[in-house]
Amino acid sequence: MTRSPLPLLLLILAAPLAAQETRAPEAVAVANRMHEAMGGLDNWNNTRYIRFDFRVGPPGDLPPGRAHLWDKWEGRYRLEQTTEDGKTQVTLFNAYDKTGAVYVDGEKLPDADAEPLLDRAHGAFINDTYWLAMPWKWLDPGVNLQSMGKKEYNGKTFDVVELSFHNVGRTPGDRYQAFVAKDTNLMEHWEYTLQSGNEGSWDWQYLDTNGIKLAATHLNAEGREINMGAVKASGEVNEAHFTDPAAMLPR
């Protein structure tokens, strides 16, 4: 777990390594109900490709942000963004071993110049996919689940589950409280306390795509939005997106 290059965001992902975890049965029951409401873990695991964006700003005035295409099965990844000086940067890499290449305005960068940008692209993958799919990751290795009982929020009743981490991620001291609505069985609100001591909260909204639910957007009390843009899960894509820097993703 590290910080996002964008302000006010947290970067959180349980590493896919064998780890020991503790999970209260009642918290696991909430997770199972949530996953069922989101389409079922089998459908999530059988989803191969996900296209989405990551746009942050005031609602209604969001910059283009980052465009993603993720091959969940093989780790192939395409990340498109604009550099600070207005150039188009395309990173084609494997999200699971961090190997790949970086192109700026169509020109491939030398390995020495690409290395730090590949690391940043991997950080964007970790951060942005967690904002897209955090509810699906509750049962990942190393994620602890503790029931915090029921709480009221915005006039609704929620089952609250605390997520903490056992020897996974870059900041394992982070803790998250997830509010799962009794009526929808969806995580509609999320509060966090980071290892650094920073705190925050966001409301989540979802969309349906190819039999599963993924985040559509997030809103906080400070008037910020994290919008996931063109979210689409699918079983096939244009293979050129993973090999040709000029094959830009549709926006």
Structure-token match 């970790």, residue found: 126
**Is residue 248 domain-resident?**
no
Structure confidence at residue 6 (pLDDT):
36
Q: Which residues pair with 234 in a beta bridge?
A: 49
Structure confidence at residue 3 (pLDDT):
32
**Is residue 249 domain-resident?**
no
**Is residue 237 domain-resident?**
yes
Contact 174, 10 (CB under 8 A): yes
Domain span at residue 170 reads 25-242
How far CA 97 is from CA of 36, 118, 169, in Å, comes to 31, 11, 16
**Is residue 18 domain-resident?**
no
**Is residue 250 domain-resident?**
no
Q: pTM of the predicted model, to two decimals? A: 0.90
**Is residue 105 domain-resident?**
yes
**Is residue 11 domain-resident?**
no
Structure confidence at residue 61 (pLDDT):
87
Contacts for 241 with CB less than 8 Å, ≥ 6 apart: 69, 78, 247, 249
Contacts for 111 with CB less than 8 Å, ≥ 6 apart: none
Could you report the average pLDDT of every consecutive run of 10 residues in the chain (251 residues)? 36 47 96 98 98 95 95 98 96 96 98 97 94 96 96 97 84 89 98 90 98 98 95 97 97 84
Structure confidence at residue 15 (pLDDT):
42
Q: State the CATH number of the domain containing residue 189.
A: 2.50.20
Q: How many domains does the chain have?
A: 1
**Is residue 214 domain-resident?**
yes
